[in-house]
Chain A
Amino acid sequence: MKIKHVIFSPAAVGLFLLALLSAAAPLLAGVDPAEVRMDRILQPPGSGHPLGTDELGRDVWSRLLYGGRVSLAVGFLAMALSISVGMILGTISGLAGGFIDRLIMRTSDMLLSIPSILLMIGLQAIAPAGLLSVILVIGLTGWMLITRVIRTEIRAIRKETYMLAAKKLGAGPVRRFISHLLPRCLPSIIVLAAGSAGHAILAEATLSFLGLGIPQTIPSWGNMLTGAQGYLMSGAWWLAVFPGLCIALTIYFIHVLGDRLQAGPRCPSARKEQNPHGHSGA
């Protein structure tokens, strides 16, 4: 598969459009997302507000655009953190072997044994509320699968003769990592990154919905849904429907994109052992 087949696939275009809408929020919103209008609470869609207003009279369309910035940024940063930690630990584990390898692998088993959402709400309970701690908590609880896949790849190539040759010719560990190990792992890293981003966006939404994520002062797709359940009963369906649609759509595009990337050409060693435990449901 050529790279342009991935870039111009409907999923990639959809994802790009969602990001573009969020980036252009100040141009498209029209109304300040934080503007409270007690005279216009819980207005249905239409009526001067394309997607209605919430319980404080804030414009849902505007909050959706600004919320996209937060949700996408948190998802992306948490994913970058997970990938970095996973790559570092996976490389150490794969190269070191022995006790260090066992310790890292068992630690990741241990973290995988705690239902992910429990692990996150446990950490959020002791962390100070805020954007940064949400990113850290999601990023630092999502590296286990990545570590395992990278470790498998590293182990597959560390004994290759060209690795030995590079070592004998005097290439240091950093050099060997950048010019030999990294290129071989890159295809799986890209696929893992897609899965990880989907997981992070879902995790942010879940934590925020539960009241343990992004503080209410900053709109995000997740925390727009926090109070929505209460108003569902009184018929204000638009509070719950639109942010949820955005989250579902984003994750759907990411999944489709991930599948497409996985179907592309990969180096033989990367295909040999695929990790079966790819589920990261929050």
Chain B
Amino acid sequence: MALFLLKRVAESAFVLVLGSLLCFAFIQLIPGDPAAAMYGDQLQKLTEADRLRISENLGLDEPVPVQYIHWASQVLQGNWGASYLTGEPADEVIVRTLLPTAVLLMASQVLMIGLALFFGLTSALRRDGLYDRIVLAASVLLMAIPPFWLGLMMMLFFSIRLGVLPSSGMGAGPFSISHLILPALVIALSHAGYYIRLFRNHFAASSMGGHLLALRARGVPHRRIVIAHILPNAAAPLIVYTGASLAVSLAGSVVVETIFSWPGLGRLALKSALAHDYPVLLGIILLSMAFVILVNLLASLLAAWMDPRLRGSGAEGRNGQ
């Protein structure tokens, strides 16, 4: 276990370094040079000597690897540059959106896993029956519906036709459930189809085998077989998938937060992309990447702790999506 732990942590760290290299390359690709981005039109008024001094101050005359190390140490110190839009430090702009997104993600994650567990288990137990077929067909349908369109249709139905749920914002209070329902439901439903199928297949696999037949023959009640034998057997891979699904929900939040004007990270990401506010956009990408890597690491460690078979290869439990 110790060796596995070390290996997985080292792997995650390596992936994180690769990701930071990508982000650094991203900065190099941004149209225009950083000095122009910082000073805007004023740069035109400066003399050649001033411009040289600026690029020296910014470290632009250094070799690229040195620039990378300089940039990475700045990022690690929490120095993410100023937002082009508001002039505030990018990290402050981003931190403000974390709580709303965390609330939305938690709610949608609970809903989605709940749906996947319930429908996955019930249809696996009635394998190939009518119920199973209906659930599978419905989950393929859910997979096909674009999340943003699902959002628009739910808004059309619940907010406009029925007028029962608000269509935008977070509400006046700290957290209003009625504002949370639609966005959370849209994220959950748009990813539930895939996870229902996945969970069903795992439960179906773990509900086969001679030991279950033996238990049944001994007169162990059906409910007990399900709770004490089928569920735990499928638990380890499902934890890994649950970890991976967080990245999927985070991606879904970009679209859903935009549609429902939810003041979170996803909406900020889109706003910064549309306004070419690169420091904020890059900060969001870095942060969510680090978050996803961490969650995947924790999920795979948890799964390996529960199921020793997963410790061997190290191939299991890498992030999905």
Chain A residues in the interface with B (C-beta under 8 A): 106-107, 109-119, 121-122, 124-126, 198, 202, 205-206, 209-212, 225, 228-229, 232-233, 235, 237, 240-241, 244, 247-249, 251-252, 254-256, 259, 276-282
- Does B264 make an interface contact (CB < 8 A)? no
Query: Are B274 and A106 in contact, CB atoms less than 8 angstroms apart?
Result: no
Once bound together, how far apart are the Cα atoms of A279 and B141, in whole Å?
A: 15
Instruction: Provide the B73-116 mask, 1 if CB < 8 A to any CB of A, else 0.
Output: 00000000000000000000000000000000000000000000
| B177-198 with Cβ < 8 A to chain A | 190-191, 194, 198
- Does B320 make an interface contact (CB < 8 A)? yes
Query: Are A281 and B321 in contact, CB atoms less than 8 angstroms apart?
Result: yes
CB distance from B200 to the nearest CB of A (A): 13
Question: Given the interface contacts A205-B146, A244-B149, A255-B140, does A118 sit within 8 Å of B288 by beta carbon?
Answer: yes
Once bound together, how far apart are the Cα atoms of A30 and B103, in whole Å?
A: 49
22 contacts between A and B (CB under 8 A): A106-B14, A106-B15, A109-B319, A112-B319, A113-B292, A114-B19, A115-B254, A115-B292, A117-B251, A118-B285, A118-B288, A122-B273, A122-B281, A206-B148, A228-B152, A229-B155, A232-B152, A233-B167, A251-B144, A255-B144, A277-B244, A277-B320
Once bound together, how far apart are the Cα atoms of A235 and B140, in whole Å?
A: 30
Query: Are B321 and A244 in contact, CB atoms less than 8 angstroms apart?
Result: no
CB distance from B94 to the nearest CB of A (A): 13
Question: Given the interface contacts A118-B284, A244-B152, does A110 sit within 8 Å of B26 by beta carbon?
Answer: no
- Does B52 make an interface contact (CB < 8 A)? no
Question: Given the interface contacts A106-B15, A112-B321, does A279 sit within 8 Å of B194 by beta carbon?
Answer: yes
Query: Are B255 and A117 in contact, CB atoms less than 8 angstroms apart?
Result: yes
Once bound together, how far apart are the Cα atoms of A107 and B21, in whole Å?
A: 10
Which residues of B have CB within 8 Å of A240? 149, 152-153, 156
B interface: dominant SS = helix
Interface size grouping (class) on chain B: 35 or more
- Does B165 make an interface contact (CB < 8 A)? no
Query: Are A115 and B288 in contact, CB atoms less than 8 angstroms apart?
Result: yes
A-B pairs with beta carbons under 8 A, tally: 174
Which residues of A have CB within 8 Å of B220? none
Query: Are A106 and B140 in contact, CB atoms less than 8 angstroms apart?
Result: no
Of all chain A residues, the one with the shortest Cβ separation from B191 is: A281
Which residues of A have CB within 8 Å of B248? 115, 279, 281
Which residues of A have CB within 8 Å of B22? 110-111
- Does B207 make an interface contact (CB < 8 A)? no
- Does B301 make an interface contact (CB < 8 A)? no
**Residue from B31, B144, B250 in contact with A126 in the complex, judged by beta carbons closer than 8 Å:** B31
Which residues of A have CB within 8 Å of B160? 232-233, 235
The 7 tightest CB contacts between A and B, nearest first, are: A277-B320, A115-B251, A244-B149, A252-B144, A251-B144, A125-B273, A121-B273
Once bound together, how far apart are the Cα atoms of A124 and B31, in whole Å?
A: 12
Once bound together, how far apart are the Cα atoms of A279 and B249, in whole Å?
A: 12
Question: Given the interface contacts A277-B320, A281-B251, does A244 sit within 8 Å of B146 by beta carbon?
Answer: yes
Of all chain A residues, the one with the shortest Cβ separation from B255 is: A206
Once bound together, how far apart are the Cα atoms of A251 and B278, in whole Å?
A: 33
Of all chain B residues, the one with the shortest Cβ separation from A273 is: B315
CB distance from B300 to the nearest CB of A (A): 12
Once bound together, how far apart are the Cα atoms of A192 and B18, in whole Å?
A: 26
CB distance from B183 to the nearest CB of A (A): 14
Which residues of B have CB within 8 Å of A118? 250-251, 254, 269, 284-285, 288
Query: Are B141 and A212 in contact, CB atoms less than 8 angstroms apart?
Result: no
Which residues of A have CB within 8 Å of B293? 113
Query: Are A237 and B156 in contact, CB atoms less than 8 angstroms apart?
Result: yes
Once bound together, how far apart are the Cα atoms of A255 and B144, in whole Å?
A: 7
Most buried by B among A229, A240, A279: A279
Question: Given the interface contacts A115-B248, A255-B144, does A126 sit within 8 Å of B152 by beta carbon?
Answer: no
| B113-152 with Cβ < 8 A to chain A | 140-141, 143-149, 152
- Does B162 make an interface contact (CB < 8 A)? no
Which residues of A have CB within 8 Å of B245? 279
- Does B234 make an interface contact (CB < 8 A)? no
Question: Given the interface contacts A228-B152, A229-B152, does A112 sit within 8 Å of B320 by beta carbon?
Answer: yes
CB distance from B163 to the nearest CB of A (A): 12
Of all chain B residues, the one with the shortest Cβ separation from A245 is: B149
CB distance from A252 to the nearest CB of B (A): 4
Query: Are B321 and A126 in contact, CB atoms less than 8 angstroms apart?
Result: no
Most buried by B among A205, A247, A251, A276: A276
CB distance from B17 to the nearest CB of A (A): 9
Which residues of B have CB within 8 Å of A210? 148, 254-255, 258, 270
Which residues of B have CB within 8 Å of A206? 146-148, 255
Query: Are B153 and A126 in contact, CB atoms less than 8 angstroms apart?
Result: no
Query: Are B292 and A114 in contact, CB atoms less than 8 angstroms apart?
Result: yes
Which residues of B have CB within 8 Å of A247? 146, 149
Which residues of A have CB within 8 Å of B140? 252, 255-256, 259
- Does B7 make an interface contact (CB < 8 A)? no
Known contacts A118-B251, A118-B284; can you find 19 more A-B pairs with CB under 8 A? Answer: A109-B319, A110-B22, A115-B321, A118-B250, A119-B285, A121-B254, A122-B26, A122-B273, A125-B276, A125-B281, A206-B255, A225-B152, A232-B160, A233-B167, A241-B153, A251-B146, A277-B319, A279-B321, A281-B194
Query: Are B143 and A251 in contact, CB atoms less than 8 angstroms apart?
Result: yes
Once bound together, how far apart are the Cα atoms of A280 and B202, in whole Å?
A: 19
Question: Given the interface contacts A113-B19, A229-B152, does A281 sit within 8 Å of B252 by beta carbon?
Answer: yes
Once bound together, how far apart are the Cα atoms of A111 and B320, in whole Å?
A: 10
Which residues of A have CB within 8 Å of B49? none
